[in-house]
């Protein structure tokens, strides 16, 4: 019988058991399980991995708990600017958007870039014009406003720092070092792989900062050997070309996915980068390494799950 597999993440970072109430923890677990369920329905019915990752990521974008879509963090100017990418491993098609505003589900816009434009990557105002032209759902600023994110921005401005989500104080730099992107990777029953990642980026980011999430090969990648979605300090994942690094270890060095994934995260960590990733290979094997204290994550396959985990 053909296999399928799906993994999701809701960001990696300083996530400690004593920092989450039982209620908060179950909210995160419920949301990750809901994202898995939506994707699993598509995959178990024989649907494409691409549809599954888009649907799972959309569920997490709609949930204010996560730093993507509705729950995105604020820029220095008090705006929401989101990045997202999706990739279809069967044909190496990809779509990405950066610094988009007022788009309810940036992952849907990324998919539209892939399927309805001749391009791979659209940014800012141009991406917004494309979204309007093709009728992607837009929301006004109030949809994205959450007290939690606004308070985080005020604190970050006060400290004069750019911060990631799920942060706590990093003694080395005296600032919060959190992370909180969402992502999904899937293998479908026809053997196709796909990856999708979406983020609000970093609190208090300035000057049009873009992280690894929408950069194909850095935060998001899929081909015929594996699909990868990363989360963490984007600047490091960009420099390590982390998602493609993992895929290359499988393709060219013949590594099993668990080794390739561990090596890719270790490489990011070797020069100071913090974060994690989820990956699935063409046989449905999965790996979800991280070098932070926790990563919101879960998976389901044709044989097992759903399993949702938060801590190490």
Exposed / middle / buried, residue 309 (Cβ in 10 Å: 0-12, 13-18, 19+): middle
Rounded distance between C-alpha atoms, residue 242 and residue 229, angstroms: 9
One of 181, 199, 213, 220 is an active-site residue; which one?
181
User: Least distance (Å) from ligand ASP to the CB of residue 280?
Assistant: 19
Q: How far is CA 233 from CA 92, 184, 242, in A?
A: 25, 18, 11
- Nearest to 90, CA basis, from 282, 283, 285: 282
Rounded distance between C-alpha atoms, residue 42 and residue 51, angstroms: 7
> Hunting for tokens 């992280």 — which residue is that?
211
Cβ closer to ligand ASP: 96 or 202?
A: 202
Using the contact rule CB under 6 A, the part of the chain among 105-113, 136-144, 210-218, 281-289 near ligand ASP is 210-218
User: Least distance (Å) from ligand ASP to the CB of residue 99?
Assistant: 11
Q: Does 71 bind ligand ASP (CB under 6 A)?
A: no
For residue 139, cis peptide bond before it (omega within 30 degrees of 0)? no
Using the contact rule CB under 6 A, the part of the chain among 28-36, 229-237, 243-251, 291-299 near ligand ASP is 229-237
User: To the nearest 5 percent, what fractions of the chain are helix, strand and coil?
Assistant: 35, 25, 35
Q: Does 213 bind ligand ASP (CB under 6 A)?
A: yes
Q: Does 72 bind ligand ASP (CB under 6 A)?
A: no
What is the x/- site pattern for ligand ASP, positions 13-52, by CB under 6 A? ----------------------------------------
Query: Residue 146 region, left (φ>0) first, then alpha (ψ -120 to 50), else beta?
Result: beta
Number of residues binding to ligand ASP, judged by CB under 6 A? 17
Using the contact rule CB under 6 A, the part of the chain among 29-37, 122-130, 228-236, 294-302 near ligand ASP is 228-236
What's the maximum distance between 2 C-alpha atoms anywhere in the chain? 57
> Hunting for tokens 């892939």 — which residue is that?
114
- Exactly one of 47, 201, 217, 298 binds ligand ASP (CB under 6 A); that residue is 201
DSSP 231-292: EE-HHHHHHHTHHHHHHHHHHHH---HHHHHHHHHHHHHHTT--EEEEEEETTS-EE--BSS
Task: Give residues 137-166 in contact with ligand ASP (rule: CB under 6 A).
Answer: 164-165
- Nearest to 2, CA basis, from 309, 306, 217, 301: 301
Using the contact rule CB under 6 A, the part of the chain among 19-27, 30-38, 196-204, 290-298 near ligand ASP is 196-204
Cβ closer to ligand ASP: 11 or 294?
A: 11
Q: Does 11 bind ligand ASP (CB under 6 A)?
A: yes
Rounded distance between C-alpha atoms, residue 84 and residue 213, angstroms: 6
Q: Does 231 bind ligand ASP (CB under 6 A)?
A: yes
Has 181 been annotated as catalytic? yes
Task: Give residues 164-183 in contact with ligand ASP (rule: CB under 6 A).
Answer: 164-165, 179-181
Cβ closer to ligand ASP: 192 or 209?
A: 209
Rounded distance between C-alpha atoms, residue 240 and residue 198, angstroms: 19
Q: Does 276 bind ligand ASP (CB under 6 A)?
A: no
Using the contact rule CB under 6 A, the part of the chain among 16-24, 120-128, 153-161, 211-219 near ligand ASP is 211-219
Give me the active site residues, please. 181
Q: Interface residues with ligand ASP (CB under 6 A)?
A: 11, 67, 164-165, 179-181, 199, 201-202, 211-213, 219, 231-232, 234
């Amino acid at each position: 019988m053909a296999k399928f597999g799906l993994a999701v993440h809701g960001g990696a970072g300083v996530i400690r058991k004593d920092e989450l109430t039982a209620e908060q923890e179950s909210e995160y677990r419920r949301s990750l399980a809901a994202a898995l369920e939506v994707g699993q329905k598509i995959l178990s019915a024989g649907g494409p991995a691409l549809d599954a990752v888009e649907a799972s990521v959309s569920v997490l974008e709609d949930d204010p708990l996560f730093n993507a879509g509705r729950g995105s963090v604020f820029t220095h100017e008090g705006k929401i600017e989101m990045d997202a990418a999706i990739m279809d491993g069967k044909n190496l098609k990809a779509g990405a958007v950066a610094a988009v505003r007022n788009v309810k589900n940036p992952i849907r816009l990324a998919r539209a870039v892939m399927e309805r434009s001749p391009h791979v990557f659209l940014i800012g105002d141009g991406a917004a014009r494309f979204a309007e032209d093709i009728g992607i759902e837009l929301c006004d600023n109030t949809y994205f406003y959450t007290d939690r994110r606004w308070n985080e921005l005020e604190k970050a401005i006060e400290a004069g720092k750019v911060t990631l989500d799920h942060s706590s104080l990093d003694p080395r730099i005296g600032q919060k070092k959190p992370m909180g992107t969402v992502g999904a990777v899937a293998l479908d029953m026809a053997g196709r792989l796909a990856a999708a990642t979406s983020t609000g980026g970093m609190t208090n980011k300035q000057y049009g900062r873009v992280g690894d999430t929408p950069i194909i090969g850095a935060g998001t990648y899929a081909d015929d050997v594996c699909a990868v979605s990363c989360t963490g300090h984007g600047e490091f994942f960009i420099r390590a070309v982390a998602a493609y690094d993992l895929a290359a270890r499988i393709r060219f060095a013949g590594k099993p996915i668990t080794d390739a994934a561990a090596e890719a995260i270790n490489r990011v960590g070797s020069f100071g980068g913090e974060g994690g990733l989820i990956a699935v290979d063409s046989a449905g094997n999965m790996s979800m390494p991280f070098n932070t204290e926790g990563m919101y994550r879960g998976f389901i396959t044709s044989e097992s799950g759903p399993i949702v985990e938060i801590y190490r």
